[in-house]
Chain A
Amino acid sequence: MSQWESVIGLEVHVQLQTRSKIFSGAPTAFGAPPNTQACAVDLALPGVLPVLNAEAVRMAIVFGLAVEGEIAERCRFDRKSYFYPDLPKGYQISQLDEPIVRGGHLDIETDDGAAKRVRLTRAHLEEDAGKSLHEDYQGKTGIDLNRAGTPLLEVVSEPELASPEEAGRYFRALHTLVRTLGICDGNLNEGSMRCDANVSVRPRGSTDLGERTEIKNLNSFRFLDKALAFEIQRQIDVLESGGSVERQTLLYDAERDETRPMRGKELSDDYRYFPDPDLLPVVVTQSMLAQARATIPELPAAKRRRYVDELGLTDYDARWLTVDPDTAAYFDAAATACGRPKAAANWIMGDVAAAVRREDAAWTEVPVSASQLGKLIERIEDGSISGKIAKSLFKTLWDDGGEVDELIDSQGLRQVSDSDEIAAIVREVIDANPAQVEQVRSGKIRVLGFLVGQAMKASGGKANPKRVSELLQAALSTDGS
């Protein structure tokens, strides 16, 4: 075990999925041609003024309530000044010392699997900057202000994460939470959640904090993990070679897998914060709190507990199903439809997940509706179709759509459980395969499987395999000629 331990705190910028920007009416949709979603306010034309988007405030309140933080009755916005071409006003509107949410916590697990409560310092509202595009402009820099003014909720954790793995679990838990709350689309590859990590190391067991560095703008789970691992090792190497860690801001270079100091342009020693005189203080009323509270859905931890305690799923299954709120919603609907949560879980984690992965589909757009999947499960459980038929029927439903019961009838898929019918097939199989029959009788029970297979084949897959096996065994044991 290393003689060093790491201490990590994360600042995650969560893009709130409001329709319009935090201080203007321009739309926030991702991927539009450059500067087509930037209005006069976003361009910081002379004379324009910010107007706060009430929906962004509502989402921040929803988040604060979900993490059991304290919602400020009154908070305000500040100007944070620095010059950069993608920051049109020359200042960012943010919240310095009166954030909308203080405290709160997020529950994760340690590397040993023990429960751990990570405390949050605060969460505050601010506006995103635009983007500087350094490619494709013949040595010049392009500025795209579509993102400028997109609402961000910056969620700041206490420095309580002990490893890159813990940091990753925290980031994932936050990802699941904001998606469950419906306040962020969670599309990391579109920059919907970006993370700054504060990292320091100290001798194991020490309670003092070492000098920290900050790694900026980590936008995937993988980069967070790799950047932290690299930076922790770098700091340990510095300390072990007798040096000291320098407080600095770093960027992670994914191609080279290393962190390196950021150059001064986007950094300032002094942001000259002061209250923005264009905006009034935000007053959060009891009715705003009540309205926000009413919109909070079942949270991931509660859902997981319910799956285990009430639906009888394993902890592993419950966890698997609750990572993504859309998956959980699909499961809830399917389980309710068929009344068999365990079977629904198996199907969703098996065939449905495989198809989703293969087709790169979204869980909200699975072509087999949860109610059809429920119906399918019901038909297996009531013996109408075999598991094998069900699998091929699922594929048909995925590819071509349709209704389970209609397809069973129109394609003649109903399982044959009638003893006389199966007995006739069994008779045929015994007559047609004398050599194998002899083998079974002489004790080679394995060969029974071959005969069952032949019977199933003869029935077109529709025979109930359990009945086939029973009748075959009965026939071979009594039919001792």
Chain B
Amino acid sequence: MSAGQFATIADIRTALRSKTTSAEELAREHLNRIARSELNSFVTVSEDDALATAREADRQIARQGQSGLLGIPIAHKDVFCTAGVRTTCASRMLAEFVPPYDATVVTKLRDAGAIMLGKTNMDEFAMGSSNENSHFGPVSNPWDATRVPGGSSGGSAAAVAAGLVPAATATDTGGSIRQPAALCGISGLKPTYGRVSRYGMVAFASSLDQGGPMARTAHDLRLLLHHMEGHDPLDSTSADVGPTPRGAGGTGLRIGIPREYGRDLDARLAATVDEAAAVFEGLGHERQDVSLPHTAYATAAYYVVASAEASTNLSRYDGVRYGHRAESPADLDDLYARSRSEGFGAEVKRRILTGTYALSIGYYDAYYRKAQRLRRLVRQDFLDAFATVDLILAPSTPSTAFEKGALLAPDETKDPTVMYEQDIYTVPASLAGLPALSIPCGNVGGLPVGMQLIAPHFGEDRLLGLAESFQRETDWHERTPPP
């Protein structure tokens, strides 16, 4: 007997402990679901490895019982390097790339006993908000296959929402965990920048990239975070702060509602966030208005900073050592130009060009330097706000999941910044390096709505505690997509 298609990690742990299922049985069930799924949420399924690891987990469970994530099936976003299993970043550039090493997050989760079933689809190099920028094709939203799951962690979000895995890793640079979590009706946490090691996570924008978990509940997020976080000597930007404490998050908290976040928001979505605030009030917390005055500039600053970093992070894909290489190049320039032109998709090229431009002599001050200044102002906004409130409650996205193709700008006939506006509520916390999560808080027109909670640096404990208390009061997180 299985623990159920939409079982949480907590449920599965109980089932494994009571021997009503085994790790191998769980792995097989989930692998079957993945095989039958038409969402295109996986790029690679590592069935043999998964079953072998599951059998080993069962032996361990028989010896010493279930603990940690032992026997829990998970998937990794295809941005995390996995030794011996291809890691593509959903790019033609890395379509054949098999890393010789594991990302720190991958190692940690394996050490905790998690069983990796495969690698999930994503926007190419994590650039995108719809998972349509994938060399392996778009991912469908489990709630409506004509709609996008969000991005860039669209594969992980769709897979969790559809019950293909109870949890998955993801990464968030400007909203790539929170936005797809919201559009797919699941829980996703972007930890504080530095909480989770970036080693082995293919870089998009180094000062913003942060790995984190996606799951069905905040409780599961906490469990996953516990096995992902920690100082890593291989990542100079990883913080040496010790583990996230297992507290309840506190009572009588002051929850700030930023004035600037409502402006472009669909009224039906605004209403769900408002209802969520009422739930918190009912739990004894206090609602308070706050101002984050530089919010309007955050998206522009983000796209300059992130693209600038990306333009150099992606320079290593030159066709010389690994990755896509153009056939019979005429000379070195031709090798570079064609390998990169053929290997990268349109959005990646656009960001490389944008970033290169922003860093060029004569434009550096006008773009990169100015964007960094704005970034500091956005960060200061939050620090000021946290002087009067303990947490910030905000919408996760300006709309529910949109139709495939609606916002995509595959060529110059469409404006790519329309898609970028998907990130207006998630980008500010990214620029400030703050922990933020998105959990389901409503349903509009049959599609899930997410809300965002943002805490001060390293305030994951408070964030998760509050989200857990919300999920004890409500059942939005228990809703599942139509079969």
Contact = CB atoms under 8 A, between A and B. Distances in A.
A90 B315 contact: yes
A47 B235 contact: no
A83 to B, nearest CB: 6
A49 B237 CA distance: 10
Contacts of B205: 277
Contact of A51 (B234, B315, B321, B359): B234
A46 B360 contact: no
A41 B99 CA distance: 12
A47 B360 contact: no
A45 B100 contact: yes
A45 B100 CA distance: 9
Interface string A29-72: 00000000000100111111111100000000000000000000
Contacts of B203: 46-47, 278
Contact of A47 (B103, B237, B364): B103
B236 A49 contact: yes
A47 B236 contact: no
A272 interface: yes
Contacts of B235: 49, 51
Contacts of A48: 199-200
A270 interface: yes
B309 to A, nearest CB: 6
Contact of B318 (A46, A90, A277, A278): A90
Given A265-B332, A270-B361, A49 B234 contact: yes
Contact of B207 (A50, A90, A269, A277): A277
Contacts of B100: 40, 45
B198 interface: yes
Interface string B229-258: 000011111000000000000000000000
Given A83-B336, A88-B316, A90-B315, A45 B99 contact: yes
B356 interface: yes
- The majority secondary structure among interface residues of chain A is loop
Contacts of A47: 80-81, 87, 99, 103, 199-203
Given A52-B236, A85-B332, A91-B312, A274 B368 contact: yes
A37 to B, nearest CB: 15
B236 A278 contact: yes
A143 B316 CA distance: 15
A91 B315 contact: yes
Contact of A278 (B80, B94, B206, B311): B206
A45 B236 contact: no
Interface in A286-344: none
Nearest to A35: B321
Contacts of B368: 274
Interface string A69-91: 00000000001010101001111
B308 interface: yes
A83 B237 contact: no
A280 interface: yes
Sorting the interface of chain A by its residue count into under 10, 10 to 19, 20 to 34 or 35 or more gives 20 to 34
A274 B315 contact: no
A272 B206 contact: no
Contacts of A51: 233-236
A279 B309 CA distance: 13
Sorting the interface of chain B by its residue count into under 10, 10 to 19, 20 to 34 or 35 or more gives 35 or more
B66 to A, nearest CB: 31
A89 B315 contact: yes
A274 B316 contact: no
Given A83-B336, A90-B312, A44 B233 contact: no
Interface string A461-478: 000000000000000000
A46 B202 contact: yes
A276 to B, nearest CB: 8
Contacts of B233: 51
B89 interface: yes
Nearest to A269: B361
A76 to B, nearest CB: 12
B312 A46 contact: no
Given A46-B81, A47-B200, A89 B237 contact: no
B296 to A, nearest CB: 24
Interface string B299-341: 0000000001101100110101110000000001000100000
B50 to A, nearest CB: 22
The CB with the most chain A CB atoms within 10 A, among B97, B103, B318, is that of B318
A276 B308 CA distance: 11
Interface in B9-43: none
B360 A270 contact: yes
Interface in A225-247: none
B206 A46 contact: no
A431 to B, nearest CB: 88
B237 A274 contact: no
B361 to A, nearest CB: 5
Contacts of A91: 312, 315
6 contacts: A45-B99, A46-B203, A47-B81, A47-B103, A49-B236, A277-B205
User: Which 10 A-B pairs have CB atoms at the shortest separation, nearest pair first?
Assistant: A90-B315, A277-B207, A277-B206, A272-B359, A44-B316, A47-B200, A46-B202, A47-B81, A270-B361, A47-B202
Given A81-B311, A88-B321, A91-B315, 10 more contacts: A47-B199, A47-B203, A49-B199, A88-B320, A91-B312, A272-B356, A274-B368, A277-B309, A278-B203, A278-B236
